[in-house]
A = this chain, B = another copy of it.
Amino acid sequence: MPKEFEPYYAVIFTSKLTDENTDYDKMSEVMVNLAKKQKGFLGIESARSDIGITVSYWQTLEDIKNWKQNSDHLVTQKMGIEKWYSWYALKICRVEREYSFQRAD
């Protein structure tokens, strides 16, 4: 029997930085390490070219809400709005199916 797929949640965070971003990378790393310690955290992936895309994965919507309200994270969110981000968009999604490919060699 195929293993049943357990839905989980993804937060798609897309952003464009301002020019005032000298301390952004460092704080970003601190936040990733903090996120990893939160209940329900499943993973995080990031890439940045012209825009940045970070996708974090969580067990439940409650876990996402708790992470959003984490006090250290709130401070960083405030700095993001005041300084780092020209714009951002955040989408909360339910992952309904997935598949992957891994090269053999």
Q: Which residues of A are interface residues toward B (Cβ below 8 A)?
A: 10, 12, 14, 18, 45-53, 55, 81, 85-103
Chain B residue numbers with a CB within 8 Å of A98 are 89-92
Given contacts A89-B98, A102-B87, whether A47 and B45 have CB atoms under 8 Å apart is no
In the assembled complex, the CB of A76 is this many whole angstroms from the nearest CB of chain B, namely 14
Known pairs A48-B49, A86-B103 / 19 extra A-B pairs, C-beta < 8 Å: A10-B12, A12-B55, A14-B45, A14-B55, A45-B51, A47-B48, A53-B53, A55-B55, A81-B101, A87-B100, A87-B101, A88-B100, A89-B99, A89-B101, A90-B98, A90-B99, A91-B97, A92-B98, A94-B94
Chain B residue numbers with a CB within 8 Å of A93 are 10, 93-96
